[in-house]
């Protein structure tokens, strides 16, 4: 008797968990066509790693020259238009004196947000993939470095960088002035990004002005959050509440579950999520 | 941002932390007694089912239960996710903590010698009266140190509510730490938690003293 009851209950639990795996996809999301913040993505290195930063910059330029960079970019159609090295918008002055052959052999650990598709994510085989990961791997090949990936806790990425858990943060990361001020070495900007709002299609929200009294979600530690607390503070003050989530996936779950009215997020990630559904 | 601003900002989150703390205690402490009594029921089926539920609640992480309560109904049945996150958070915390409390209550109730029940019966007390007037006060006195232990853990566990995007004190600390690229908010959070627990320990010490009458 006892065993039977235990078995039935165990099965019931299993059934519940199996149900959790099913994804509800009946909520149509849409991106509001309004650019709320313009910024550039870059790579952050520790303050003492000026050399490493130069080597990576030079290696990436080498990739651009030999066409490998464009080859990788082809695989990510959502982001290709805004890559600064490919569309000729990069005004960065590179240090031409760097000699790639002089790079000493080492292990290079790249710090990524493993949930930031299409820049860095875990693919179906459980391997790290994404545009940034592939570029870093190719750059390491040029430099003769051993390539390694470390998934950081996004809201503590710079602390983990300082603690030498990784050698750079390279994962669709916005360059902030506060990072430069704190002494981090920042690479050449490589991606032009805008912040956008994602809402449910039938919500009737058409611009940021319609957000008065609404609940908006943003991922903790992203530039979007910084922006809302800084340059866009007036917009934020019209919200009923700004909710910070630990990953952008959770932001979208909240939006689909109607717990928030809009998600404030980087354009490529929003586009990729909506097209991938 | 100077230290004072950080403290003020984080204090705003502290009210939400307190909301989880007090509501959880209000619901979990009585619910624990109910579960303990069901667990000790003479009807085998009830006792076994309760035992199983308690083992699941204690055997899975609180974070997982929090996610299940908040997003489970949405994924399973398509219900919308609650806008006021306090409700699912308190439900998950109260249910989880009542499982722990129930075992503490059970240990207390079972530690009361059989002779007291017999004496009470001879003196003409009904079963219910015996339990409320004689047994329970002694149980409370005996289990208070263990309860204090759990309550102290509860104070620190409130930070888990961030998993479901509830904006409590530690979340606000993380937000500030991010935007300022600074470590100070974590120190402030540590001090806040410590002070909170110091108050809890002080109050529970007083309660313990006031119940010394029931000490055997």
Q: Give chain A's domains with CATH numbers.
A: 24-36+194-276 (3.40.190.10), 40-193 (3.40.190.10)
- Each residue's pLDDT tens digit, A113-168: 988 888 999 888 888 999 999 999 999 999 999 999 999 988 788 888 999 999 99
Q: What is the pTM of this model?
A: 0.79
Res B178: pLDDT: 76
Res B175: pLDDT: 84
Among B80, B177, B179, whose Cβ lies nearest the Cβ of A229?
A: B179
Question: Nearest-CA residue of chain B relative to A261?
Answer: B83
Res B17: pLDDT: 94
Best CA proximity match to A168, nearest among A60, A39, A246, A38? A60
The more confident residue out of B184 and A11 is B184
Alpha-carbon span A85 to A90, nearest angstrom: 6
Q: Is A75 helix (H, G, I), strand (E, B) or coil?
A: coil
Res A25: pLDDT: 52
B89 chain-A contacts, CB cut-off 8 A: none
With an 8 Å Cβ cutoff, is A229 touching chain B? yes
Cβ atoms A130, A117 nearer than 8 A: yes
Read off the pLDDT of each residue in A228-240 and give the average, rounded to a whole number. Answer: 88
Low-confidence residues of chain B, pLDDT below 70? Answer: 216
Token look-up 């545009």 returns A131
Q: Which two structure tokens, joined as six digits, stand for A199? A: 């809402």
Res A247: pLDDT: 86
Read off the pLDDT of each residue in A190-209 and give the average, rounded to a whole number. Answer: 90
Res B81: pLDDT: 86
Say yes or no for a CB contact (<8 Å) between A259 and B75.
Answer: no
Q: Is B60 helix (H, G, I), strand (E, B) or coil?
A: coil
Domain residues of chain B, as ranges? Answer: 3-214
Res A138: pLDDT: 94
Question: Nearest-CA residue of chain B relative to A2?
Answer: B48
With an 8 Å Cβ cutoff, is A163 touching chain B? no
Contacts of B181 (CB under 8 A, 6+ apart): A158, A178, A179, A182
Res B42: pLDDT: 92
Read off the pLDDT of each residue in A183-192 and give the average, rounded to a whole number. Answer: 92
Q: For chain A, give the mean pLDDT.
A: 86
Alpha-carbon span A201 to A50, nearest angstrom: 46
Size (chain B), residues: 216
**Residue A11: which pLDDT band, with cuts at 50, 70 and 90?**
low
Read off the pLDDT of each residue in A72-93 and give the average, rounded to a whole number. Answer: 86
Please determine, for residue A22, whether its predicted confidence score (pLDDT) is greater than 50.
no
CATH architecture of B3-214: Orthogonal Bundle (1.10)
Q: Which two structure tokens, joined as six digits, stand for A204? A: 């009737």
B85 chain-A contacts, CB cut-off 8 A: 259
Alpha-carbon span A155 to A113, nearest angstrom: 10
Res A36: pLDDT: 85
The more confident residue out of A178 and A254 is A254
Res B193: pLDDT: 95
Please determine, for residue A73, whether its predicted confidence score (pLDDT) is greater than 50.
yes
**Residue A8: which pLDDT band, with cuts at 50, 70 and 90?**
low
Percent of chain A with pLDDT over 70: 90
Q: What is the ipTM of this complex?
A: 0.77
Considering just the CA atoms, what is the radius of gyration of chain B in Å? Answer: 21
């Amino acid at each position: 008797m006892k065993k039977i009851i235990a078995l039935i209950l165990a099965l019931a639990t299993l059934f519940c968990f199996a149900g959790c795996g099913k994804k509800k996809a009946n909520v149509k999301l849409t991106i509001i066509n309004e650019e709320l913040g313009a910024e550039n993505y870059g790579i952050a290195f520790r303050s003492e790693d000026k050399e490493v930063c130069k080597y990576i910059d030079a290696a990436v330029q080498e990739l651009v020259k030999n066409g490998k960079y464009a080859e990788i970019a082809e695989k990510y159609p959502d982001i290709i238009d805004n890559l600064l090295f490919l569309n000729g918008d990069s005004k960065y002055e590179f240090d031409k004196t760097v000699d790639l052959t002089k790079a000493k052999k080492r292990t290079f650990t790249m710090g990524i947000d493993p949930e930031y598709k299409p820049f860095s994510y875990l693919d179906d085989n459980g391997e790290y993939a994404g545009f940034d990961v592939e570029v870093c791997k190719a750059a390491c090949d040029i430099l003769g470095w051993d390539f390694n990936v470390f998934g950081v806790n996004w809201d503590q990425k710079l602390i983990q960088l300082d603690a030498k858990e990784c050698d750079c943060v390279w994962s669709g990361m916005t360059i902030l002035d506060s990072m430069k001020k704190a002494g981090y070495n920042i690479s050449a900007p490589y991606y032009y990004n805008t912040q956008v709002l994602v809402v449910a299609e039938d919500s009737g929200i058409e611009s940021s002005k319609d957000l008065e009294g609404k609940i908006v979600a943003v991922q903790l530690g992203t530039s979007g959050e910084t922006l809302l607390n800084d340059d866009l503070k007036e917009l934020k003050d019209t919200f009923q509440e700004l909710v910070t989530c630990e990953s952008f996936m959770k932001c979208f779950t909240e939006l689909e579950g109607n717990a928030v009215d809009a998600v404030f997020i980087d354009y490529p990630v929003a586009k990729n999520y909506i097209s991938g559904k | 941002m100077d230290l004072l601003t950080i403290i003020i900002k984080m204090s705003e989150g502290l009210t939400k932390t307190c909301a989880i703390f007090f509501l959880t205690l209000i619901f979990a402490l009585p619910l624990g007694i109910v579960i303990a009594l069901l667990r000790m029921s003479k009807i085998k089926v009830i006792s076994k089912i309760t035992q199983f539920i308690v083992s699941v609640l204690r055997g899975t992480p609180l974070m997982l239960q929090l996610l299940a309560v908040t997003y489970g109904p949405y994924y399973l049945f398509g219900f919308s996710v609650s806008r006021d996150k306090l409700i699912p958070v308190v439900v998950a915390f109260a249910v989880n903590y009542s499982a722990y409390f129930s075992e503490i209550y059970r240990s207390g109730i079972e530690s009361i010698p059989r002779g007291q029940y017999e004496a009470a019966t001879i003196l003409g007390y009904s079963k219910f009266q015996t339990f409320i007037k004689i047994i329970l006060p002694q149980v409370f006195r005996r289990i208070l140190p263990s309860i204090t232990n759990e309550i102290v853990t509860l104070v620190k566990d409130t930070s888990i509510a961030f998993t479901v995007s509830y904006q409590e004190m530690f979340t606000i600390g993380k937000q500030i730490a991010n935007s300022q690229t600074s470590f100070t908010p974590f120190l402030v959070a540590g001090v806040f938690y410590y002070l909170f627990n110091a108050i809890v320990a002080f109050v529970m010490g007083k309660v313990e003293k006031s119940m010394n009458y029931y000490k055997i």
